[in-house]
Amino acid sequence: MTRFYIYLLWLVVGLNGLAYESWGRGSQCDEFYNSAKASPVVFQNAFETSRILGEYAGGLVVRNVFSQKSFIRDLFQLRPEEFYIDFGTGDGGALESIYGSGRDLDVEFKMRAQIMFSSLNLREQQGWTRLEHAEDALKDRLRGASDRDLEMMYRLAERPFQLKPNSVGITYKVRRVIPETDKMKLMKDRLFEDIPDEEIPRYKLASSFFGVFSYTKKVSDVLFKALSRAEPGARLYIYGMNFMVKDSLEKPSVPLETWLKKHATGIKIHTPTLPNRGVIMIERTSEALSMPVLKFLKQVGEHETPPKYIFLRTSDIHN
């Protein structure tokens, strides 16, 4: 019953959240945003924050001709003492799914479709006239995951509570009450950039689904900090990162993941060669971690979501 009320609250706040907030663009605001460590939308919380675990499962798959790395499979394989971190967990829908039951996953699917359908923006853009249209669109988002992956998601949900892995969700803002337990904790009200390293548990698996790694203006600081808390062999799946890097002002910019492959040590970058190109996976190797320090140079275009940022290499090194 309590869970029912939590869902109800989630629905109300979720609907509220999907409506874009208007925000004064006075000079004080501009000054704050220009010097801020992350994109303005993080402070406004003006984006989708209620994705469910199935959407993570569908998006976080790195598929190549001979291999496939799947977030949900890695999550399924975590041991009870190991940690999963969601860097930018929003309203914690994906996290909470791990600790409910298979039945809850079905309820969450319906609730999420309802939230999507209730968004005027989405309804107008997509021409949806019935709830089933939103349900079909949601099913599409799950389609990146194989039937086997989705079955693992249900099996994980049904696993006895104490045998599930530990999770931590990091979010600057949260719109609903998320019931924390000794298995699931939330770090909220602070930017990840401002959380002391030692507060971040050492983890085996992490995700950022349009999260911290899509909106930061301190990308190398954030990557270095997150990866220095990764256990050897840990995997960080990132979806929706629109960042480019220039080695110098005169040189052309290259995608951050391509640049990291060349310039960082202690990590291996996995990018898909087959569709689902929005995703990359970073695997922590046992070598010492290092990468050049990047500084924010500029934003390209005003309306891209997530923002397209260009960073410039400096002569300093994180190590």
Ligand X SMILES: C[S@@+](CC[C@H](N)C(=O)[O-])C[C@H]1O[C@@H](n2cnc3c(N)ncnc32)[C@H](O)[C@@H]1O
Q: Which residues of 74-91 are buried (b: 16+ CB within 10 A; e: fewer)?
A: bbbebeeebbbbbbbbbb
Q: Per CB under 6 A, does 192 bind ligand X?
A: yes
For residues 203 and 271, give the distance between their C-alpha atoms in angstroms, rounded to a whole number. Answer: 21
Backbone angles phi, psi at 242, to 5 degrees: -115, 45
Q: Cβ distance 262 to 313 under 8 Å?
A: no
CB of 248 to ligand X, least distance (A): 27
Q: Per CB under 6 A, does 90 bind ligand X?
A: yes
Q: Per CB under 6 A, does 47 bind ligand X?
A: yes
Query: Using CB under 6 A, which residues numbered 122 to 161 contact ligand X?
Result: none
The two tokens of residue 193 are 């950039």
Q: Is 152 exposed, middle or buried (0-12, 13-18, 19+ CB in 10 A)?
A: buried
Candidates 101-109, 121-129, 185-193, 291-299 — which segment interacts with ligand X by CB under 6 A? 185-193
Candidates 101-109, 131-139, 188-196, 283-291 — which segment interacts with ligand X by CB under 6 A? 188-196
Q: Per CB under 6 A, does 210 bind ligand X?
A: yes
Query: At a CB cut-off of 8 Å and minimum separation 6, what does 165 contact?
Result: 75, 78, 79, 80, 82, 83, 84, 98, 183, 204, 205
Q: Per CB under 6 A, does 243 bind ligand X?
A: no
**Three-class SS state of 52:** coil
Q: Per CB under 6 A, does 50 bind ligand X?
A: yes
Q: Pick the binder of ligand X from 128, 203, 209, 224 (CB under 6 A).
A: 209
The contact mask relative to ligand X for 23-42 (x = CB under 6 A, - = no) is ---------------x---x
Candidates 1-9, 26-34, 43-51, 197-205 — which segment interacts with ligand X by CB under 6 A? 43-51
The number of angstroms, rounded, from the C-alpha of 159 to the middle of its chain's C-alpha atoms is 24
Query: Using CB under 6 A, which residues numbered 285 to 304 contact ligand X?
Result: none
Binding site for ligand X (CB under 6 A): 38, 42, 47-51, 88-90, 170-173, 191-193, 209-212, 215-216
